[in-house]
Structure 1
Amino acid sequence: MSITTQVDSKNKHVTVSIDGAFGFSLVQDFRRCYVERKDHTFTIDLRAVNYIDSAGLGMLLNMHNYLEQRDGTIRLINLLPQVKKILLISRFDKKFKIE
């Protein structure tokens, strides 16, 4: 389980890639990716996430609330079917742009 962050300062865009289960063990690392970057847009790449639990869902909601951004400024991309299903059942498509 790991998190990789790429920051494009010129375009004020951050891409966060998560590898492995997206759960409680990543809380601090995930928060560091977006704190102090309120003026950036974000893409969360979940291609290597095969499992997301309630802590992972909570981390995404905390990020959304912290950034106070509108739909489309936090994109969730490259979801495996089982992860996408959990996000859709949890109605995350109402707060995030899921691609």
Structure 2
Amino acid sequence: MSIESEVSLDGKKLTIAIKGRFDFGSHQAFREAYERFYKVPEAYVVDLKETTYIDSSALGMLLLLRDYAGGDESDVSVINCNADVRKILAISNFDKLFDIN
């Protein structure tokens, strides 16, 4: 498991890429991926292209990111989900809280 974050050149978008398992063991690294910037980006993108597994604690971490980003006013997208991850997000109604591509 690894988590990498990258800010766009204009500083308005933060992309967090998760590789491998996205589970409780990712909690600290995931939080650090978005909390370490003094300037809060306007948009967040969670890239799950190389994510092989997601569990309920990962869903909780996505909710914490959403709250950190501004709750209902936040701009958080989840992209590049494989079929299994997309199914878990849909069953959990996360498509109502996040822009999922």
Question: What is the aligned partner in structure 2 of residue 87 from structure 1?
Answer: 89
Question: What is the aligned partner in structure 1 of residue 34 from structure 2?
Answer: 34
Q: Tell me the amino acid that sits aligned with residue 46 of structure 2.
A: I
Deviates more, 1:84-93 or 1:35-44: 35-44
TM-score where L is the length of structure 2: 0.88
Q: Is the 8 A contact 1:72 1:97 kept in 2?
A: no
Say yes or no: does 1:14 pair with 2:14. yes
SS at 1:15's partner residue? strand
Q: Percent same amino acid at aligned positions?
A: 39
Q: Tell me the amino acid that sits aligned with residue 53 of structure 2.
A: Y
Higher share of residues assigned strand? 2
- Report the Cα distance in structure 2 between the residues aligned to 1:37 and 1:46, rounded to whole angstroms: 24
Q: Is the 8 A contact 2:66 2:74 kept in 1?
A: no
Query: Relative to 1, partners in 2 of residues 1:50 and 1:57: Cα closer, same or farther, differing over 3 Å?
Result: same
Q: CA deviation at 1:37?
A: 4.8
Question: What is the aligned partner in structure 2 of residue 5 from structure 1?
Answer: 5
- Report the Cα distance in structure 2 between the residues aligned to 1:37 and 1:55, rounded to whole angstroms: 27
Query: Relative to 1, partners in 2 of residues 1:71 and 1:80: Cα closer, same or farther, differing over 3 Å?
Result: farther
Show structure 2 runs of 5+ residues with no match.
none
Query: Relative to 1, partners in 2 of residues 1:74 and 1:37: Cα closer, same or farther, differing over 3 Å?
Result: farther
Q: How many residues align?
A: 99
Q: Is the 8 A contact 1:15 1:45 kept in 2?
A: yes
TM-score where L is the length of structure 1: 0.90
Q: Tell me the amino acid that sits aligned with residue 73 of structure 1.
A: D
